[in-house]
Structure formats: C-alpha cells, structure tokens
C-alpha cells in the first residue's frame, strides 16, 4: 500500500496471517480485510523486532484486530507470557524528515531490516516513541490503543477501536498498527485486520495454519437446454475457502479453465461463484459458459485451480474430461461414454468416541455390481494409512456389508475403531488396486490432518 503524507510517500510492508481458530469474518459492505502470516525474529525490550501495518480508512467505523501465534523457537513454556506488543497509532506519528527517519530506524530497528520498511521513503516518530511502549507520560494524540499479545494458547488476542467522523477528519484515515517482539525467541503467527476501507490484502500462506482444508473438484460437465456448456464444481473437503480468496486479482485468482474442442475459456472465482457458496464444505456451484455452444460430440475438459492458488486436501482431482453433445434432450446431456460408477472418499473424521471414520460415496451414474460382494478377488479395497504407514486394508464386504455402494449416490461410513493420539495425518484410498473401471479415477484418495 502507498500513502502520500505531505510531500513524502510512505511505503510500508504488509505481513499478515490467517487464524486456524475459527474467526467469524463477515463481508460487510464498506469494510475490507487484511489477512496474512508473519514471522518475528528475536528481539529485546529495549531493542524489539518491529513490524508495521498501515491501514487506510475511507469512512468512520471500527478497526478490529486479531493476533494469533502458532510457533515459538525455542518453544514457549510459559503460557501466560505475552512476547508481543501491539500498538495502534495514526499517521501523525510520522513527522520526521527522511534523513531523521533513517537515523532513527538504524537504531530502533536493529533486528528489523530497512529493506522491509522501504528505507529513506518512510518517516518515523519525532517524539513520544517511548510513550507508546511503557512510558509513564501522557500518551501523544496519535496514540490510540495497545495490547500485550502472542501468548501460547488457542484463543489469540483481539483489539477494537472505533473511529468517528471528527477523528477521521483529523487523521485523514491513515493509521498504523505497530507490532513488536520483545522476547529473545522467534515467533510465527497470524494477524487479521478488519476495517472500513476498500483495499483487501490476503496472503494464501495463512491457509497453512488451518486445521482442515477445502477440496475443489469438477463434479460434472453437461449441456443446458440451449446446448451451452455447464460445469458443476463441488467443495468436497472439510474446510472453507477463505474470504480473501474472492478478493484476489489477476494471476493470483483461483481460475476455472474450460477447453471446448480446440478453444480455451476461463472464469475467475468471483465470476463462477459470485454468492460465495464454495466457502461452505460440501457446497456446489454451477457455471454456464454461454459462449460455448455444442451441437455435435465434443471433448470438453474443465480444470479448477490449475495454478494451485488454493491449498487443498487433495490436489489430484481438479480436472475432468467428458465427451458431450450430439444428443437432443431436455435438461442435461449425459456423456456419450459408458455409464460407470465413481467411488470417492467423501470424508475422513472423528466420531463422538474419537475414532477415525471413513465415508465413501458412489457419485457415478452406475452402482457397483452386487456380484462383487461375493467375488472379493474382483472387488475394490479400502486402504487406510496413518502418517504414511499402513493401518489396514478392508474388503468391500468389510466396509460396506449393506451394499450401499451398489446404488448411485450411495454413501457408506466405515468405523476403523482407531483412536489417534495427538495430531496425525490419515489418508484413505478406495479401489487402491484399480480393480473396477470408474468414470473418474482421480478422486479415489483423500488425506486429512486429525487431532483428538
């Protein structure tokens, strides 16, 4: 973000993150969000490692700040100790000349490289710096709120500050959040700022901290009544798509690529999911490519997130190719190839007893042949691994004695009886030996991180 203050340009670096703890983020009109991860190297009380986060308000409203830490190096054993200090000031605090700023920054930011702060172009505090961080004097007018934060717990710390119209006129809407590490160890965490403004800043690296992740897949390719190509996309993962993904632009956007014959088309996430439906696990959206009309059998390939802008629980099921067209029907046109089953791992989770359960769904256009239950040598197997090591391999009769997968849309849940201790990565593969022919062979595996 670039600010012009007087005749100087203020360039400050954004480093923010996403909390793995559930934090309600509403897309309120007139409000924007900054959400990115941060890493703060070791500092000291008299010489802290410091980061700056500029915030530009466009109207009166409330600034909400949430800070959560995830990793300490070396580990932090005292959960009550708060290694970070967060202070909210307005831009009136920056009134030095560039030369004075450089001289101050070289001393105060010994552990904070000047490149991170854009060097000479940033102005610094002329007076009252010590007032902000523990001084006994009356705080200056540009000081607004502070908090000790960064404790080793699952809740994080929050700060709220309301800006009314008179104050907005005085500050020009220019505020800076200053975060300092006064501890002698490195701290990794996330910061989320919600404020009345226009500029969204989202770093997808925050998704690394999430406990569960989304999983986008192409569920089907069909035709409308007007023979227009229609793509159905599903979030079959357990996690949500972060709201910030909908506010990314250009090459950073999650994109749906569609190849019809020899021609390619594209649609970004806000275009094919304008109502933000895919933020919810299990949700589906349907996108119609009105420009692509098919009147004869044509190969259509749809790929979601080919640029890997989204962290998913399964990156191998993002593409589907089908031959459609050439048949006059009302509604959707079925693919011309043979009707087949399509087994997928729908969900890996813990039940009320803390045992790992695996849900398998047949989302194909045909059920499994019932003769497979009496022919184990030809039947699909369910393979389960924990942290990469085999846990068990179960026969079709073992995980689906009720023959639920013999029906299209059938779902069966298998209880492994296994109770994990701590955090473990569990993976499940259906038809691990490729014994049956399916309409989609790319969605048979799922891998999630579980914690009991």
Domain count, the chain: 3
Structure-derived torsion over alpha carbons of residues 195, 201, 204, 206, reported in degrees to the nearest 10: -40
| Same-domain status, 11 and 159 | yes
Whole-number Cα distances in Å, 200 to 22, 41, 240, 341? 20, 26, 18, 43
Domain boundary pick from 186, 209, 232: 209
| Same-domain status, 200 and 349 | no
Contact criterion met (CB below 8 Å) for 430 and 363: no
Q: Tell me the C-alpha distance between 429 and 345, whole Å.
A: 7
| Same-domain status, 96 and 241 | no
Of 363, 366, 414, which is closest to residue 391 (Cα–Cα)? 414
Encode burial over 165-203: b for 16+ CB neighbours within 10 A, e otherwise: eebbeebebbbbbbbbbbbeebbebbbbbbbbbeebbbb
Of 106, 41, 36, 45, which is closest to residue 72 (Cα–Cα)? 41
105 sits in the region (left: phi over 0; alpha: psi -120 to 50; else beta) called alpha
Does the pTM surpass 0.75? The reply is: no
pLDDT in tens, 380-394: 999 999 888 888 888
| Same-domain status, 139 and 15 | yes
Hunting for tokens 């047949």 — which residue is that?
362
User: Residues of the chain with pLDDT > 70: what percent?
Assistant: 81
User: Which pLDDT score is estimated for 124?
Assistant: 38
Contact criterion met (CB below 8 Å) for 331 and 255: no
Contact criterion met (CB below 8 Å) for 208 and 35: no
Q: Tell me the C-alpha distance between 338 and 330, whole Å.
A: 20
In this model, does residue 113 exceed pLDDT 60? no
- Average pLDDT of the chain is 81
Q: Tell me the C-alpha distance between 374 and 379, whole Å.
A: 9
Can you list the alpha helix ranges (DSSP code H) found in 91-154? 98-108, 129-132
User: Residues of the chain with pLDDT > 90: what percent?
Assistant: 49
Of 274, 281, 276, 265, which is closest to residue 217 (Cα–Cα)? 281
Of 49, 33, 51, which is closest to residue 41 (Cα–Cα)? 49
User: Which pLDDT score is estimated for 174?
Assistant: 85
- Mean pLDDT (whole number) for 350-358: 91
| Same-domain status, 38 and 154 | yes
Of 176, 236, 257, 244, which is closest to residue 205 (Cα–Cα)? 244
| Same-domain status, 255 and 271 | yes
Element spanning 299, H or E? strand 298-304
Hunting for tokens 């505090």 — which residue is that?
125
Bond into 74 cis (ω within 30): yes
Domain boundary pick from 209, 242, 267: 209
Assign residue 86 the CATH number of its domain.
2.60.120.510
| Same-domain status, 133 and 245 | no
Assign residue 345 the CATH number of its domain.
2.60.40.10
pLDDT in tens, 21-69: 334 466 788 899 999 999 999 988 888 898 888 888 999 999 999 999 9
Hunting for tokens 């087949």 — which residue is that?
340
User: Which pLDDT score is estimated for 338?
Assistant: 56
User: Which pLDDT score is estimated for 433?
Assistant: 86
| Same-domain status, 91 and 203 | yes
User: Which pLDDT score is estimated for 12?
Assistant: 30
Domain range spanning residue 30? 2-209
Of 363, 434, 362, which is closest to residue 399 (Cα–Cα)? 362
Q: Tell me the C-alpha distance between 381 and 448, whole Å.
A: 19
Q: Looking at 91-100, 172-181, 236-245, 298-307, which range is the least confident one?
A: 91-100
pLDDT in tens, 280-290: 999 999 999 98
Q: Looking at 11-15, 39-43, 81-85, 263-267, which range is the least confident one?
A: 11-15
């Amino acid at each position: 973000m670039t600010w012009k203050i007087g005749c100087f340009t203020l360039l400050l670096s954004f480093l923010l993150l996403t909390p793995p703890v559930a934090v309600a983020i509403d897309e309120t009109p007139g409000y924007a969000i900054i959400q990115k991860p941060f890493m703060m190297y070791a500092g000291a009380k008299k010489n802290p490692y410091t980061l700056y986060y500029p915030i530009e308000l466009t109207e009166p409203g409330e600034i909400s700040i949430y800070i959560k830490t995830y990793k300490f190096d070396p580990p932090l054993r005292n959960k009550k100790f708060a290694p970070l200090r967060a202070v909210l000031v307005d831009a009136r605090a920056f009134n030095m000349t560039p030369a004075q700023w450089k001289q101050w920054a070289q001393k105060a930011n010994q552990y904070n490289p000047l490149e991170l702060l854009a060097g000479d172009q940033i102005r610094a505090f002329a007076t009252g710096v010590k007032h902000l961080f523990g001084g006994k004097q009356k705080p200056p007018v540009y000081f607004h709120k502070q908090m000790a934060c960064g404790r080793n717990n699952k809740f994080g710390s929050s700060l709220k500050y309301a800006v009314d119209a008179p104050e907005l006129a005085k500050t020009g809407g220019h505020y800076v959040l200053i975060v300092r590490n006064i501890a002698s160890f490195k701290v990794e965490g996330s910061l989320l700022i919600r404020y009345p403004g226009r500029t969204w800043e989202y770093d997808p690296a925050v998704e690394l901290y999430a406990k569960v992740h989304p999983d986008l897949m192409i569920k089907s390719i069909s035709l409308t009544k007007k023979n227009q190509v229609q793509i159905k996309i599903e979030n079959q993962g357990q996690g949500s798509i972060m709201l910030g993904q909908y506010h990314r632009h250009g090459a950073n956007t999650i994109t749906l690529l569609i190849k019809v014959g020899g021609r390619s088309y594209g649609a970004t996430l806000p275009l094919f999911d304008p109502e933000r439906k895919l933020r919810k696990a299990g949700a589906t959206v349907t996108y119609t490519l009105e420009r692509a009309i098919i009147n004869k059998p044509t190969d259509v390939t749809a790929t979601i997130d080919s640029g890997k802008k989204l962290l998913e629980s399964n990156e191998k099921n993002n593409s589907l190719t089908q031959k459609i067209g050439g048949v006059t029907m009302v509604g959707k046109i079925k693919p011309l190839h043979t009707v087949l089953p399509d087994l997928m791992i729908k969900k890996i989770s813990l039940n009320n007893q803390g045992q790992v359960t695996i849900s398998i769904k047949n989302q194909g256009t045909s059920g499994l042949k019932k003769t497979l239950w009496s022919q184990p040598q030809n039947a699909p197997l369910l393979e389960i691994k924990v942290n990469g090591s085999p846990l068990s391999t179960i026969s079709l009769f073992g995980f689906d004695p009720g023959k639920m997968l013999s029906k299209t849309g059938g779902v069966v849940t298998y209880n492994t009886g296994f109770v994990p201790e701590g955090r473990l990565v569990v993976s499940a593969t259906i038809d691990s030996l490729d014994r049956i022919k399916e309409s989609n062979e790319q969605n048979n595996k799922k891998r999630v991180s579980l914690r009991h």
